[in-house]
């Protein structure tokens, strides 16, 4: 690459504009406030669960963090499809950011679930179908990052990562749907129609959202914050970081050429 | 330029793969020996009594089939790439989809050949007859499912730095729903429980196959463009 080409490459990269930065900082503050209100509703305002006690309050983080991870991984699919069609780098950056943010949120989901399971199921881990598929989902996205790091050519890397990001979403859908396919799971169906099969209800245990005052509103509020604000703000920060990294490498090329 | 009709191109690729295999026996030989070794290791490692054997035999079968199929997929695509044949296929006036379906059918046939060797050997070694029509159907569907995903992913991983090491890592998690459904269906069929208890798994397997075939068919052109 000539010096002029490197220079124009550095200039053509998106530079964080002032308005965007302000909006992002504002949204970040809103997110922190939203998460804090969600924690207040869950930890203090909602009544204590009669059967499970205080440890049930982990649900106010456990369920919302999966919602956030779902949104982030869905962003990876959108980014992957859009990259394959348009070949514009920004879509691949979105896909990468989605995977990393989704992995972080899925890790929160897994750890809180495990901590909750210790007193309630008397084990940190069991081979419940949803636990298994959730662990597979996390490994799939870890494989996504390994695949990326194994390819030197940037165009090939983006292309393969897009394809794998689309395929990998099947594990997210399975984690979401498996409690409807496998009746032997202990995970309750919280969203959508519940099959009122007596044997199934018995194996799942009753999970009554309305049994304790304040639970429904706390879960709903926290899920809204964690699926609308948290993943998007984190993805945005990650995209900015990636753009800055691109700029740095382009500028380094320019300096080395001179 | 006039392109060769889809099915003609597919059949030509399949014929080429079969002919190369007949002459070299590079894939089925390695896969077959590996598969036989694994079932011997399993029978030592698990020390199974009669009852336990019927419980785990389908798990052993599927683990063996999938590992030897990974071995075969890696070799099959690495050969295409190293000898420059993949580039030749892409230069030829045929659709990318035909290349994919051709390679898929080739890999499917090889993995089914391994399964055909495994079935009588395992039936004899574990004293459990695997020749149940539903086990055979599950094998046909299950092997189709993971060779579909595997052919796409192997085409990607042979182009990376890590090569052979990467395929199991990227393929196992994505193919896991297929393996899960296949193991459940064949365990159910062998356990002799009512058909209604496990037939759902065969249906799920068929649905997963259809989804993966369509997805991989449309994604394949993106992993071979250059």
Q: Is B199 on the interface with A (CB under 8 A)?
A: no
Instruction: Say which of B161, B176, B211 has its CB closest to residue A152.
Output: B161
Q: Is the ipTM above a cut-off of 0.90?
A: no
What is the average pLDDT score of chain A? 80
Pairwise CB contact (< 8 Å): B159 & A156: yes
Tell me the per-residue pLDDT of B83-109, one tens digit each, with 9 for 90 and over.
Answer: 888 888 888 888 888 999 999 999 999
Q: Is B176 on the interface with A (CB under 8 A)?
A: yes
Identify the pLDDT of residue A211: 56
The chain B residue lying nearest A155, using CA atoms, is: B226
Nearest chain A CA: its distance from B208 CA (Å):
10
With a cut of 50, say whether residue B173 has pLDDT above it: yes
Nearest chain B CA: its distance from A220 CA (Å):
30
In a 3-state reduction of DSSP, which class is residue A209? coil
Q: What is the average per-residue pLDDT within B128-141?
A: 88
Pairwise CB contact (< 8 Å): A164 & B225: no
Identify the pLDDT of residue A201: 41
Looking at chain B, the whole-number percentage of residues with pLDDT higher than 90 is 38
Instruction: Say which of B161, B204, B223 has its CB closest to residue A160.
Output: B223
Q: What is the average per-residue pLDDT within B27-50?
A: 85
B27 pLDDT band, cuts 50/70/90, is confident
Q: Is B219 on the interface with A (CB under 8 A)?
A: yes
B175 contacts in chain A (CB < 8 Å): none
Tell me the per-residue pLDDT of A46-59, one tens digit each, with 9 for 90 and over.
Answer: 777 766 777 777 88
Tell me the per-residue pLDDT of A67-126, one tens digit each, with 9 for 90 and over.
Answer: 999 999 999 999 999 999 999 999 999 999 999 999 999 999 998 888 888 887 778 887
Pairwise CB contact (< 8 Å): A163 & B223: yes
Identify the pLDDT of residue B115: 92
Q: Is B215 on the interface with A (CB under 8 A)?
A: yes
Nearest chain B CA: its distance from A158 CA (Å):
10
Q: What is the average per-residue pLDDT within B3-20?
A: 87
With a cut of 90, say whether residue B161 has pLDDT above it: no
Instruction: Say which of B169, B212, B222 has its CB closest to residue A159.
Output: B222
SS (H, E, C) chain B: CCCCCHHHHHHHHHHHHHHHHHHHCCHHHHHHHHHHHHHHHHHHHHCCCHHHHHHHHHHHHHHHHHHHHHHHHHHHHHHHHHCCHHHHHHHCCCCHHHHHHHHHHHHHHHHHHHHHHHHHHHHHHHCCCCCCHHHHHHHHHHHHHHHHHHHHHHHHHCCCCCHHHHHHHHHHHHHHHHHHHHHHHHHHHHHCCCHHHHHHHHHHHHHHHHHHHHHHHHHHHHHHCC
The encoded tokens of residue A117 equal 């399971």
With a cut of 50, say whether residue B171 has pLDDT above it: yes
With a cut of 50, say whether residue B159 has pLDDT above it: yes
Residues of chain A with pLDDT under 70: 1-16, 50-51, 179-186, 188-214
Q: What is the average per-residue pLDDT within B199-220?
A: 90
- H or E stretch at A63: helix A59-86
Which residues, numbered 117 to 156 in chain A, qualify as contacts with chain B under a Cβ-Cβ cut-off of 8 Å? 133, 136-137, 139-140, 143-144, 146-147, 150-152, 156
- For an interface test with B, give the residue of A86, A135, A143, A173 to mutate (most B CBs within 10 A): A143
């Amino acid at each position: 690459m000539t010096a002029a080409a490197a220079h124009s490459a550095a200039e053509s990269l998106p530079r964080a504009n002032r308005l965007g930065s302000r909006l992002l900082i504002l949204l970040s503050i809103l997110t922190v406030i939203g998460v804090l209100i969600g924690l207040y509703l869950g930890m203090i305002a909602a009544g204590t669960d009669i059967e499970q006690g205080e440890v049930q309050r982990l649900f106010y983080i456990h369920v919302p963090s999966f919602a956030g991870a779902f949104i982030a991984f869905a962003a990876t699919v959108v980014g992957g499809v859009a990259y394959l069609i348009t070949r514009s780098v920004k879509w691949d950056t979105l896909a990468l950011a989605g995977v990393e943010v989704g992995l972080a949120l899925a890790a929160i989901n897994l750890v809180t679930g495990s901590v909750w399971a210790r007193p309630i199921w008397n084990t940190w881990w069991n081979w419940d179908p949803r636990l298994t598929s959730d662990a597979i989902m996390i490994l799939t996205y870890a494989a996504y990052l390994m695949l990326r790091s194994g390819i030197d050519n940037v165009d090939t890397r983006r292309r393969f990562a897009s394809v794998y990001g689309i395929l990998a979403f099947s594990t997210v859908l399975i984690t979401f749907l498996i409690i409807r396919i496998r009746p032997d799971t202990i995970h309750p169906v919280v969203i959508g129609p519940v099959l009122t099969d007596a044997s199934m209800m018995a194996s799942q245990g009753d999970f009554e959202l309305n049994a304790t005052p304040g639970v429904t509103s706390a879960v709903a509020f926290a899920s809204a914050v964690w699926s609308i604000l948290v993943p998007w703000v984190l993805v945005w920060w990650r995209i900015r970081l990636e753009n800055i990294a691109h700029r740095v490498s382009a500028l380094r090329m320019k300096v080395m050429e001179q | 330029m006039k392109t060769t009709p889809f099915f003609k191109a597919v059949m030509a690729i399949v014929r080429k793969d079969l002919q190369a295999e007949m002459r070299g026996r590079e894939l089925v030989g390695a896969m077959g020996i590996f598969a036989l070794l694994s079932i011997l290791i399993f029978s030592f490692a698990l020390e199974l009594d009669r009852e336990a054997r019927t419980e785990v035999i389908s798990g052993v079968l599927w683990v063996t089939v999938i590992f030897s199929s990974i071995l075969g997929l890696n070799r099959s695509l690495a050969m295409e790439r190293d000898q420059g044949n993949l580039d030749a296929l892409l230069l030829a006036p045929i659709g990318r989809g035909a290349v994919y379906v051709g390679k898929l059918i080739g890999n499917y046939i090889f993995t089914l050949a391994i399964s055909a060797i495994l079935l009588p050997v395992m039936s004899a070694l574990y004293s459990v007859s695997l020749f149940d029509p539903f086990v055979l159907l599950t094998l046909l569907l299950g092997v189709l499912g993971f060779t579909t995903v595997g052919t796409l992913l192997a085409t990607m991983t042979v182009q990376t730095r890590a090569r052979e090491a990467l395929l199991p890592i990227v393929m196992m998690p994505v193919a896991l729903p297929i393996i899960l459904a296949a193991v459940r269906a064949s365990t159910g069929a062998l356990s002799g429980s009512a058909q209604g208890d496990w037939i759902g798994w065969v249906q799920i397997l068929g649905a997963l196959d259809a989804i993966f075939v369509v997805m991989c068919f449309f994604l394949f052109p993106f992993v071979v463009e250059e």
